[in-house]
Amino acid sequence: MSSWKDHITFVLVEPTEPGNIGAAARALKNMGFRRLELVRPTEHLSFQARAMACGAKDILERAPIHSSFEAAIAAATLVVGTTRRRGRNRGLFLPFKDGAERIVRAAPGNKVAVLFGNEHNGLTNSELASCAFLMTIPTDGAAPSLNLAQSVLLTAYELSRLPAPGEIPKFVTQTEIRRLFRRVQSTIRLLEYASRGDRDLEAEILRNLRQVIGRSGLTTWEYNMIYGLCSQAERKLKPRTRL
């Protein structure tokens, strides 16, 4: 029988240490998760990776490999990033416990992707920009950086200890959200709204919109409503631009 845990995928983006990949697979199995996916990994089926996977070689061996970050998240309806570095423009941060609760609430009806960056640089700003929200695992300030496999284990543990969720509406995929953002961007430019003031309002509007979506997800009805509003605005405004 399918579990809500089967709707959560742990995505390692360009991991560089085979041992960490194997240990991550083991951590997932320890906590009852089975979905591991990799973006441009190092030798993920090496002797070291298999040894660290121990009783989770099945998870390691069947992990899909993606040639691009975009391909890894295309089918996801909720994308969550993990990072220890904070910043004003890095996205919406939720406390670790609150973020885990939001993931579990969304899981029954949605495909959730939880992202982990590589061991040296973490997730890039462009990768973080694709996330609905971000989480930071609380650590001591004297040693804030966690090993990749440790981060996967702690996240999986926090998720597994939460009660089974109820039903929730299905959200639209990242592919559809990117399409919506292109339409919103086109409408903003048609309105000439982003040209006002000294700030890059276009980027700020899109960033804030992603954060709003990240708080609760975006259903098909809501997607169609926003897309339809943009389409109607463009139909009303475009004849005026030709005068």
Bridge pairing between strands 133-135 and 65-66 = unpaired
190-194: average pLDDT: 73
From the candidate CATH numbers 3.40.1280.10, 3.40.190.80, 3.30.470.30, 3.40.50.720, the one assigned to the domain spanning 4-160: 3.40.1280.10
> What local confidence, expressed as pLDDT, does residue 199 receive?
54
Distance CA 120, CA 114 (A): 18
69-97: average pLDDT: 84
Taking 80 as the threshold, does the pLDDT of residue 16 lie above it?
yes
Distance CA 12, CA 131 (A): 14
pLDDT band per the 50, 70, 90 thresholds, residue 60: very high
Domain ranges of the chain: 4-160, 174-241
pTM of the model: 0.76
pLDDT band per the 50, 70, 90 thresholds, residue 1: very low
Bridge partners for 36 per DSSP: 10
Distance CA 51, CA 128 (A): 31
Distance CA 72, CA 79 (A): 10
Q: What is the pLDDT of residues 166-185, one digit of tens each?
A: 777 788 888 888 888 888 88
CB 221: neighbour CB atoms within 10 A?
Answer: 9
